[in-house]
Structure 1
Amino acid sequence: MVTKSSRKSAETTEPAGLAALAKLADVSYGSLEHELRATITALEGQALRFETVIENVSQGICFFDRDERLILSNRRYAEIYGLAPEQLRPGLTLSEIVERRAAAGTAALATDAYLAMAGSVNSGKGPRTWTAKLPDGRTIQIYTQSMPDGSWLATHEDVTDLTANRQIVDERISLQALIDWVPNYLWVKDTQSRFIVVNSALATDSGRDNTADMIGLTDFDIHPPEVARKFRQVEQSVLESGQPLIDAEEFVVNASGTVKWLSSTKVPLRNAQNEIFGLVGIARDITARKQAMSCAADRQTSWR
């Protein structure tokens, strides 16, 4: 039996309970709102860092959705194709972008042919890396990575100078088959002291099965740090001064542990604009001569 006092107590307790629930809801909402704002701030910070990185990449970058609409691109992508960044706003179709490149004189193919190429690449039927020759003579290397949802990311890199330098190397240094006949070490390096041409004698003594395994390596990959550092200093001096180094005596320890004395010549390479883009080196083994000289010196000392 419900009495007046119990009914009155319930009526008094009920509003208090609702007030407590309301207060708890307000606190929970405030906490969730704070967490949400913190999350949004963190995401905005990450997005800003991501955008900064994208804008400072030396390659042109573009990202398209499955409907071939631009999601984002960086300034370098616009520069490569002679466009203003505002001409590449998100939402444009690949077809519209190719037409703008055609208007700027930087389209490698007609619009339909380019779209067919892109479709072939994104379907997995075409190569993911290919080069495009622009009307102004530049060569652009394009790498495309498709995503599971049908979107894709592509990088565009101007490799004109690299291609031209390689052609110069091919003109000045004979075919690989020919240089492999040279018994002395023979190599070509770029301005960062990375090997771009190597003969079999040098590759073998460096512990590599193929000359191709040496491409892109530096002396730090095949010699102790102190030896590699000395070679780098000498080469940078040649590159900076433009003066060749002739018959300098150097020693190395090859991959089998054999100590060799070398007579090295390093000459800077220049392109058609007389700019230094690397150096060519040749080193002949003078170990036997050094040993003979050492023995002669020892005998002379013993006679005294």
Structure 2
Amino acid sequence: MSGASFVAMAGGIYFGGYTYMAFLVGWTGGYILVSSLLAPYLRKFGCYTVPDFIGTRYGGNVARFCAVVVLTLASFTYVTAQINATGTIAARALQIPFELGVWVGLFSILLCSMLGGMRAVTWTQVAQYIVLITAYLIPIFWISNKGGYGLFPHLMLGEEVARLGELEAQFGLVKNAAADVKAAGVPGGLKSISLPHSGVPAGGMAAWKFISLALCMMVGTASLPHILMRYFTTPSVKAARKSVAWSLFFIALLYTSAPMLATVSKLSLMDPNLPTVLLEKKFPL
């Protein structure tokens, strides 16, 4: 999973609400495509890399070279975004400049890869996931407990989104967000509170935009080189299917938690019944 999954997904849903759910649908659907249409058959073919598969399937070095070029361009674009996320996290966590954070992150990744190889990278990612998902879930259950949203807040998401919609209508944030924010003098860091969270975009094109974005993310996720190459190295076709199934479980755990974290975080700042409310007390609209 990328930095966008841990760093940007909850923030995106917090910022834009319904629209950003297309990313969740697309990313999760991409792994379903991998499990049903790609991983078992790629492993059955007996190759170990995507260029190897392309070269063997279509014959000749020309096809293999074209596959290498396409994978290099795709990987470079993807890695650039990941490096940006790495630099941002390192800069915030270590209180260092962004540029230095990029170099710290790159050096750490390079050191781990060179010393231990692919096995070290895989087990390091396992440890990272355990740490990150724990840090991700603790705020959800803590805020849910303080706000009275239930022991398992994921089952209460519908009610919480409905409550958020009521608060948005109460504060006039759905129709007059820009004017309200300007009149209230809300600081820049809090302006995202004013964006509609639960409202579904109007217009015939809104649904098509959502579907097209989800489909693009689905196909793009299923074709990511660093995801496909892991299934080439599984012991058998059965192991490839099992690997994707476990991946889907852990991905679903994160992606079902992202909307929850965004919603309870926004509610904690908007609900006047909670002691953490900020919008009504300091910036009455």
TM-score computed with the length of structure 2 as normaliser: 0.24
Higher relative contact order (CA 8 A, sep 6+): 2
- Greater per-residue helix proportion: 2
Greater gyration radius: 1
TM-score computed with the length of structure 1 as normaliser: 0.23
- Greater per-residue strand proportion: 1
